[in-house]
Chains A and B, each alone.
Chain A
């Protein structure tokens, strides 16, 4: 019984890895092919590559294929990806952090008594 549960857990983890790999690969495809008319055929080709291995059942083969895919993705990562500005890695991230509480500005210009 625990064998079946651990098998299912492993398959679920693999499916999640595949989804995250597909997401990152699609974003990289968009980063490399900036224009939409180039991106759509490239995205279709990527989807074909994922779909070709859709029906593999053997769990070890799937593990090896995912590791392969991640290695290929690492090789093709874009050096300057588009990241939304306020997200980590973007240009506006922590640009104007909220000041810590307890600090207040005392408006007594000209009335200070040094």
Chain B
């Protein structure tokens, strides 16, 4: 009895079927969990590094550009250089070896290093 009623109802219900397969069946969220193209954009790297340098207390924020040299243009000390590089390491979750960290002297070098590092995030 109930099964006959159920069969009659099911016979009348129509579920819309999407005939066009191409774009609609692969929703946008399928690749959002993939880290395949997880590299940082250069503009993001530049913005974050400039923010770090500008928020350093001994630096005048209006003088900071992507090509500025820490000791020559901003008048910082070599120890201030070390502090800025440590801040960059913390921001991008990197571990820079001591010898390489010693050579990073300007914003341009820092941006190059971070952008080319495979594990920067």
Contacts and interface: CB of A to CB of B under 8 A. Distances in A.
Interface of A: 15-16, 18-20, 22-24, 26-27, 47, 50-51, 83-84, 86-87, 90
Interface stretch (B45-53, B93-101, B106-114): B93-101
Interface residues of B, number: 14
Contact of A87 (B78, B83, B95, B102): B95
B113 to A, nearest CB: 15
Contacts of A87: 95
Interface of B: 78-79, 81-83, 85-86, 93-95, 98, 101-102, 119
Contacts of A18: 78
Interface centre among B79, B93, B94, B101 (most CB of A within 10 A): B79
Contact of B102 (A16, A27, A51, A90): A16
Contact of B79 (A50, A83, A86): A50
B102 A22 contact: no
A19 B119 contact: no
Contact of B93 (A16, A19, A23, A84): A84
B94 A26 contact: no
B82 A23 contact: yes
A31 B85 CA distance: 17
